[in-house]
Structure 1
Amino acid sequence: MTKLTKLIKNYKLIFISIVLYSIAFFTKPEIFFRGLEMTKGFLIEMLEVMPPILIISSLITVWVPSEVIMRNFGKESGIKGKLLSIFTGAISAGPIYAAFPVAQALFLKGASIGNLVIIISSWAVVKIVMFMVESSFLGLSFATTRYVLTIPAILIMGYIMEKLVSREDIIDEIEDKDIVYENEKEVLRDLPNMNCGACGYSNCKAFAEGVIKGEVTIDDCVIRSKAKEYA
């Protein structure tokens, strides 16, 4: 695999976006500039939201014992895990994409796939703040009815996902066992980039340098090893 092919594979969504933007620029300039403005707003929002979310995810990884996550969000957590997952998503703040770093941290600590789906879905559509805003615009009966219908649907979706997707499926998607790293940037692409320090290095960049120097292997990343442990 050439470097260009590897680059395109790793950043295929970015390349697709560039191609689509280029087509729009030459065929519909007004759509191009409108899209550019929306992208700018989205990036600014991400810069405001993501840093604290990543800090929270790192704190979950370092401070919260795996046993606690497994007991409350794991596969054997039962109805308690489902209720806690709904509650976690319902009290969350920030846009839906902020849920994914938190979900990854919980996954690597042993949370079940079903409960992750419930957290992400609750984060998206059953927030407490959303209920207050929704009822003020559309009425209490509308908001209550929608929530009553939405929560069972989320639970069903979590159950189905648990049956269709395994932990191994997720790990295989994010891990390439045959890769040979040529520089720190390539290592960083396969790290969680939470800078938790659990590996003994000050941050993920320092750890990546250690991988290239042969001081450690990428599997010495504590977060990655946790994913394998609970697979």
Structure 2
Amino acid sequence: MLSKSRSKIVYSDGITIRKYSPQDEQVLRTLCCDTAYFGEPCEAFFTDRQLLADLVMKYYTDYEPEHLWIAEYIGEIVGYISACFDEARCKSIMLFKIILPSIIPALIRGKIWDRKTYKMIVYIVKSILLKETKLINLNYKEFPVHFHQNVKKEFRGRGIGNKLLVVLLEEVDRQKLPGIKFRALRYEPWFPFFEKHGFKKYDCKRVKSWEAWFKKVPLYFMVYGKSFYDSQSTKQEVKAK
């Protein structure tokens, strides 16, 4: 590490981790869509990039940019990590200020009226009816923070995800929040990278209906959480409900 401040960290390998600025928005929206399908472009399952970017990124860029960090390599944005520190607020904003206002423009654009969108709806409904995606809901009072992370394909395996995650975990700890969580869809029923950072897997289910949808076998949907409670100094247990 060459230098570190609250807003920027510069590493000797050329990577810089810094706070988000509004000029980054379109690059992040593009990166989000370019990696939405298991690290590949979203067009494999969904063709309306604008709607997808709104649903995935708009909350973080427009309503909680203070918890959005950027990874750069020689001035090029190569990754990001975005976090929500207030789940109740996020849910309200997502429903009334993002999802509902995004639907009508999406219908007008017409890109969602295609076979891929129809298949997506069918398989999502099927997974819900079969309870394949119903996971333990980690108590938001114990795990108030959730996050989303992405790194460009050609820059994976270079420790960028690790650098981004460390910055987020330090901020959660600095604000003395009790815990952090995330959900993921993977080929394996575990996520070793996050386990190395102290995350615990709370639930995991195989989603066979999505295997038929994505043409990938097997697929596992899981939820991980990390508690910041000191088990030696508190008797309070991290609860899941």
Name the TM-score class by shorter chain. under 0.3
TM score, norm. by length of structure 1:
0.25
Between Structure 1 and Structure 2, the one with more strand by share is: 2
Between Structure 1 and Structure 2, the one with more helix by share is: 1
TM score, norm. by length of structure 2:
0.24
